[in-house]
Amino acid sequence: MKEVHSYWAYLVLIILIFAVINAIIGLTQKKQFTDKDLRIGLFTLIVSHIQLLIGFVVYFTGGFQDGLSEMKNPAIRLLSLEHPLTMILAIIFITIGWSKHKKKTEDAAKFKSFVIFYGIGLVLILSRIPWNNWL
């Protein structure tokens, strides 16, 4: 499961980056919010939630728990505490972005919701990926 979690993360990052760039382009070029944009946002939401569920399985089956008592070790603290909490926050922001865009009626406002909330989610994810273990 740990390997699935790692490989699925590549998919999440690619799709999330694509969704944010698509929303920035739509916002700056004042494009119409189409079904394609809706599907990109929804697919990003689904893929990121699947990653969160896989992460929960890995975490609670002991995949990342190397000793919660050793919080002085930055590597253990990253995997045991910082990574999971930050990823949960990132998925919350992505979910908020999806929910907020549905309430908007203007195309620019829909794109703006994706840019802001999916963008925050992307920054949070990039900030707490365990790069030493991942690359």
- CA-closest candidate to residue 133, choices 71, 56, 63: 63
- 63 pLDDT above the threshold of 60: no
* CA pair distance 94, 71, nearest whole angstrom: 28
- CA-closest candidate to residue 49, choices 20, 2, 16, 21: 16
pLDDT band at 124 (very low <50, low <70, confident <90, very high): very high
pLDDT cut 90: percent of the chain above it: 69
* CA pair distance 124, 94, nearest whole angstrom: 11
pLDDT cut 70: percent of the chain above it: 92
Buried b (16+ CB within 10 A) or exposed e, 51-85: bbebbeebbeeebbeeeeeeeeeeebebbbeebbe
Average pLDDT, integer, range 74-88: 84
Q: Supply the pLDDT for residue 73.
A: 77
pLDDT band at 69 (very low <50, low <70, confident <90, very high): low
Q: Supply the pLDDT for residue 79.
A: 78
* Mean pLDDT, rounded, of the chain: 90
Tokens of 96: 């908020």
Helices 119-127/2-28 angle, 10° precision: 140
Average pLDDT, integer, range 110-132: 93
* CA pair distance 56, 111, nearest whole angstrom: 30
- 61 pLDDT above the threshold of 90: no
In the chain, what are the domain boundaries?
A: 2-134
* CA pair distance 67, 83, nearest whole angstrom: 15
* CA pair distance 1, 36, nearest whole angstrom: 32
Q: Supply the pLDDT for residue 74.
A: 76
User: pLDDT tens digits for 8-49?
Assistant: 999 999 999 999 999 999 999 999 999 999 999 999 999 999
